A and B are shown apart, each in its own frame.
Chain A
Amino acid sequence: MAESSSPYTQYLLQSEPNFFDPEKICPGEMVINMGPQHPSTHGVLRLEVITDGEIVTNVMPHIGYMHRCFEKHAETRAYNQTIPYVDRLDYLAAMDSEHVWAMGVEKMLGIEGQIPKRVEHIRVLVAELNRIGSHFLAIGTYALDIGAYTPFLWLLRDREHIMRLLEWISGARLLYNYIWIGGLYYDLPIGFEERCQEFVQYLLPKLDDLNTILLENKIFIDRTANVGILPLDVGINYGCSGPMLRSSGLKYDLRRIDGYSVYPELEFDIPIGTGIMGTTGDSWDRNYVRALECRESLKIISQCLDRLQGDYKRTPDFDPQAMCPKKIRPKEQELYFRGETARGELGFFFRSTGKSDIPFRCKRRSPCFSNLSVLSEIAKGCMISDLIAIVGSIDIVLGELDG
Chain B
Amino acid sequence: MTFEEIRNFIIDKFGSEVVVREHNQAPQPYLVIETARIADVCQELFSNPQTYFDYLACLTGLDNGPEAGTLEVIYNLYSIPYDHQLTLKVVTERLTPAGALPNVPTVAPIWKTADWHEREAYDLVGINFTGHPDLRRILCVDDWNGHPLRRDYEWPDYYHGIKVRYDNHNEVNGFKGEGLASTINPGLPPLVNEN
Contacts and interface: CB of A to CB of B under 8 A. Distances in A.
Q: Are A and B interaction partners?
A: yes
Contacts of B182: 76
A72 B148 contact: yes
Interface string A345-376: 10101010001111001010100011001100
Contacts of A250: 80
Interface residues of A, number: 50
B27 A107 contact: yes
A64 B55 contact: no
A73 interface: yes
Contact of A357 (B143, B149, B193): B193
A17 B142 contact: yes
A43 interface: no
Contacts of A77: 179-180, 191
A14 B143 contact: yes
Interface in B30-82: 30, 54-58, 60, 62, 74, 76, 80
Majority SS at the chain A contact face: mixed
Contacts of A355: 192, 194
Interface string B131-155: 0000001111111000011000000
Interface string A64-105: 100101011101111001000000000000000000000000
A212 interface: no
Interface of B: 25, 27-28, 30, 54-58, 60, 62, 74, 76, 80, 83, 87, 111-113, 115-117, 120, 124, 137-143, 148-149, 160, 179-180, 182-183, 191-194
Contacts of A345: 57
Interface of A: 11, 14-17, 63-64, 67, 69, 71-73, 75-78, 81, 107-108, 234, 236-239, 250, 252, 257, 333-336, 338, 345, 347, 349, 351, 355-358, 361, 363, 365, 369-370, 373-374, 377, 402-403
A239 B113 contact: yes
A353 to B, nearest CB: 9
23 contacts: A14-B143, A15-B160, A16-B142, A76-B180, A76-B183, A76-B191, A77-B180, A234-B112, A236-B80, A239-B56, A239-B57, A239-B112, A257-B83, A334-B28, A338-B58, A347-B58, A349-B60, A355-B192, A357-B192, A358-B192, A365-B57, A370-B117, A402-B139
